[in-house]
Amino acid sequence: MVTPLKTLMGFSVHLNVQLKFYNLPHLKKWFGNKKLREIRAVDCEKFRVYLLGKSGYSQGFASLVYCLFRNTLDYAVRMDFLVKNPSRKTKAINKGKTTVAFWTKTEFEKVLSVIYTQDYYQHMYFVILYLYFTCGMRVSEGLALLMMMLILSGIV
């Protein structure tokens, strides 16, 4: 018996929920009418190229969708619907490099110069910004700090 892809998706509640949130319509558009055993590596490559080009998605999101598709076919192999996963013959989509904006020392000094330090709250903003910038700290790392840590390390 040959099982359509949409039948396979009903087997796992976890995968079904994930696919609803991560673009099930594109999977159905490309593979919905095909039986699982009819999906070839060429079809997977065409889907991969579509995600990278005409879909309009960022490279990171395209990577997520394609990874989910590959994992769905891996699940089909584990459930004995397929002998081999055809998408494994294609390359994965890498997430791409993200550029992180940062302040230069001059820009940072310009920001600090406009903070009114006589006000209690603005003075706290000044201290936190200064701490983050001079230590190279991220916000989440700064939020995890306790005052005792700062006192023991000699910063305060």
Give the pLDDT of the chain (156 residues) as one tens digit per residue. 444 444 444 444 444 444 455 556 767 777 778 888 888 899 889 989 988 888 888 888 888 888 888 888 898 899 888 899 998 998 888 887 777 788 888 998 898 888 888 888 888 889 888 888 888 888 888 878 777 776 777 766
Local structure of 125: helix, strand or coil: helix
Structural domain count of the chain: 2
Boundary (domain end) residue, out of 41, 58, 89:
89
73 and 10 in a common domain = yes
In DSSP terms, 35 is beta-bridged to 4
Whole-number Cα distances in Å, 11 to 22, 45, 73, 79, 86: 17, 25, 12, 9, 20
**pTM value?**
0.54
Flag whether 99 is in a domain.
no
Whether 139 and 83 map to the same domain: the answer is: no
Domain assignment present for 96:
no
Residue 153 tokens read as: 């390390």
pLDDT at 95: 82
The neighbour count for residue 68, using CB atoms within 10 Å, is: 17
Which residue range forms the structural domain that includes residue 131? 105-153
Backbone angles phi, psi at 4, to 5 degrees: -65, 155
Torsions phi, psi for 70 (to 5 deg): -65, -40
Residue 74: what residue type?
D
- pLDDT at residue 32 in the model: 76
Q: Which structure tokens are listed for 28?
A: 């159905």
pLDDT of residue 156: 65
- Please check whether residues 11 and 83 belong to one and the same domain: yes
* Same-domain check for residues 82 and 110: no
Close Cβ partners of 93 (under 8 Å, ≥ 6 residues apart): 48, 51, 52, 59, 62, 63, 66, 67
Integer Cα distance of 146 and 156 in angstroms = 11
| The pLDDT value given to residue 45 | 92
Please report the pLDDT score of residue 11 as a whole number: 43
118 with 64, same domain?
A: no
Examine the domain organization and report whether 147 and 113 are in the same domain: yes
Same domain, 66 and 15: yes
Is residue 85 domain-shared with residue 112, that is, in the same domain? no
137 inside domain: yes
98 found inside a domain: no
Whether 141 maps to a domain, the answer reads yes
